[in-house]
Structure 1
Amino acid sequence: MNHFLNPKSLMLLSVVSSLTLGSLSVTVSATSTNPVAVSAQSQTSAFKPDQLLQLLEQQKYDRIYGQLGAAYKKEYALKEFKQQASLYHKNATSYKVVSHVALNNTHYYAWTDPKGVNTIQAMFDSKGKLEFLFFSKMQKYPETDVQRTKTTFQLPIKGNWFVFWGGSNELINYHYGAEQQRYAYDLIVVNNGFSYKGDPKKNESYYAYGKPVLAAGAGKVVKVVNDIHDNDPVGTENTEQIAGNHVIVDHGNGEFSYYAHLQKGSVSVKVGDVVKVGDILGKCGNSGNSSEAHLHFEVANSAELFTTQSLRVKWKGADDYEQGTFIKAP
């Protein structure tokens, strides 16, 4: 997931991708048009999500900018911030909430204008302080959105899981802007609003860590990586080996399923093995471009990580699994 939810900061966006575009903490989409991304450490009084919308509607850009941190201000002057904010939201009169996810004491919000064109993504801490702000234009790929895989897939996990990123737009699925990962999912385990219990700097504290990862469809294993160390959680990622330990299964019809960020040494299959639905492939881990234990799952049209095209999954028993969905798999 890019990385996942950093319990102390942007863990939410962290979890985001696996094979993906970059660090999860600030860049939500490398392909968005004229983005403004912010890591905020405000020195002024915090405002709440509904107040942020009011400030944007009233064009109180100085007030918003005043809460942003020094790192952002070093890159963007007030004038530049005003230009970007005005570009996307001048004369906006209302916003629609597309998503709200509360996890690990952080709140992720996504809004669109009435036409679904201009978007806002923001993150607030437990005290309502703005940590992250991102403006963009909504990207749409209707031609591939309506297509589904020939194979009907089952969930690659069992038990209770949570969809942190998933769905067919970039506000609920960080991967959507990248063709190679457009319909990917990042899955974690959540209990009582947290993805971990105990020390957030230990992989073993995360509920998803070590849970079995299952073949979502029958096929032949065509790629296995099993020797990459798991990252320490909270802000450390392996950007050189972004998929981490992973398995790719060929389903024989131009469709390949990917299971990424697995635990080091946990992969129980080898290249050439034929697997059935539900066979154990390995264990959920925190390897590769990941900052928290999670499973990155997707289906694509080849086993070539950087040149493949992601395919929207046809699920058994469900139309889709979107961000914020709790899944109970048998």
Structure 2
Amino acid sequence: MREPIDLSYPFRGRWLTQNSPADRVPSHGTTLFATSYAIDFVPVDDDGRTAPITLTTLLRPEPADRFPGFGRPVLAPASGTVVAVHDQAPDHDAFRGLPSVGYALTQRRRAEAGWEALAGNHVLIALPEGPVVALCHLQRGSVQVAPGQQVPVGEPLGRCGNSGNSTEPHVHLQAIDQPDVRRAAALPLAFAGRLPRNGEIVDAG
């Protein structure tokens, strides 16, 4: 296996790690669309929580803007060239508790619609050495960059949303060997030389 691509965290503040390749590969349970080493980060508050769980949470979908991380800035994890953006997918409700079961049953339909349907709003950045980094599930209308634009590490790209295949606001990040995700191979990644494990809270300051 090739050496991991070393990235910076694409955010500031506290975020919870989910679906980490530090715990299993493929991290999302599938190799579809080069997601073998993909990782998810969920924004949390100072107490390490997303949104409070109530009886309503268990029974009905919730507005995405109820979550404290909805709209948080998402930053470039490396310097490179923007090669693709999508910014018009709607942010849908969040699904926890029983609603998440029904949402899971529609997963196959979204997968059949292709990677763009799963990714929702996204930015793809080509690194100078060749790999491409994808950041997905961004908030509709929040993308601040355009194809062809050079971005330094830490450059604001957009905001955390709940578009595409997402049960609550979070950022999905994956590294691939070319911009065409349908033909790409997954590449391993790391952050300052390591991968956070599932359930670990990252504090990026």
Contact 1:172 1:322 in 2 (8 A): no
- Of 265, 269, 273, 2:149 maps to 273
- Asked if 1:206 corresponds to 2:67, the answer is yes
1:198-228 CA-to-partner distances (Å, cap 9, x unmatched) read 7750111112211111000000000000011
Pair member with larger Rg: 1
Shift of 1:189: 2.2
> Which gives a bigger RCO, structure 1 or 2 (Cα 8 Å, sep 6+)?
2
Aligned 8 A contact 2:16 2:48 in 1: no
User: Is contact 1:197-1:205 (8 Å) kept?
Assistant: no
2:6 corresponds to which residue?
Answer: 152
Instruction: Please give the secondary structure, in 1, of the residue aligned with 2:44.
Output: coil
- Asked if 1 retains the 8 angstrom alpha-carbon contact of 2:17 and 2:41, the reply is yes
In structure 1, the gaps of 5 or more residues are 1-143
For 2:194, the equivalent position in structure 1 comes to: 319
Shift of residue 247 of structure 1? 0.2
* Alignment partners' CA distance in 1, 2:31 and 2:23: 8
Summarize the Cα distance change of 1:208–1:286 in structure 2 as closer, same or farther, 3 Å threshold: same
- Output the amino acid matched with 2:176: A
| Contact map agreement 2:35 2:174 (CA 8 A) in 1 | yes
Question: What is the alpha-carbon distance in structure 2 between the residues aligned to residue 193 and residue 253 of structure 1?
Answer: 36
Deviation (angstroms), 1:291 = 1.8
Q: CA deviation at 1:271?
A: 0.6
CA distance change for structure 1 residues 271 and 309 in 2, over 3 Å: closer, same or farther?
A: same
Pick the aligned partner of 2:161 from 257, 281, 285: 285
> Aligned residues: percent identity?
28
CA 1:242/1:177 → structure 2, altered by over 3 Å: closer, same or farther? Answer: closer
Alignment deviations for residues 290-326 of structure 1 (CA, whole Å, 9 cap, x no partner)? 121110011111111222111111422x421221111
Is 1:262–1:282's contact at 8 Å kept on the other side of the alignment? Answer: yes
Q: Distance in 2 between matches of 1:175 and 1:307?
A: 19
**Which amino acid in 1 is paired with 2:196?**
Y
Matched, 1:258 2:126: no
The equivalent residue for 1:26 is none
Counterpart residue number, 1:161: 15
* TM-score with structure 2 setting the length: 0.80
Query: What's the TM-score once normalised by structure 1's chain length?
Result: 0.51
CA–CA separation in structure 1 for the residues paired with 2:48 and 2:26: 18
Give per-residue Cα distances to partners, 1:4-24, cap 9 Å, x unaligned. Answer: xxxxxxxxxxxxxxxxxxxxx
Distance in 1, matches of 2:25 and 2:79, equals 32
Structure-to-structure mapping, 1:1-330, within 5 angstroms: 144=1, 147-149=2-4, 151-170=5-24, 173-175=27-29, 177-178=31-32, 180-191=34-45, 192=47, 194-197=49-52, 200=57, 201-234=62-95, 235=100, 236=103, 239=110, 240=113, 241-316=117-192, 318-330=193-205
CA 1:282 to 1:223, structure 2 compared with 1: closer, same or farther past 3 Å? same
Offset of residue 177 of structure 1:
4.5
Residue by residue, what CA displacement relative to the aligned partner does 1:111-164 show, whole Å, maximum 9, x if unpaired? xxxxxxxxxxxxxxxxxxxxxxxxxxxxxxxxx3xx324x53111111011101
Contact 1:164 1:324 in 2 (8 A): yes
Runs of 5+ in structure 2 lacking a partner? none
For residues 301 and 233 of structure 1, do their structure 2 counterparts lie closer, same or farther at Cα, with a shift above 3 Å needed?
same
Change (3 A) 1:247 1:179: closer
**For this pair of structures, how many residues does the alignment match?**
183
Contact 1:260 1:296 in 2 (8 A): yes
Are 1:168 and 1:176, in contact at CA under 8 Å, matched by a contact in 2?
no
- The amino acid of 1:208's aligned partner reads G
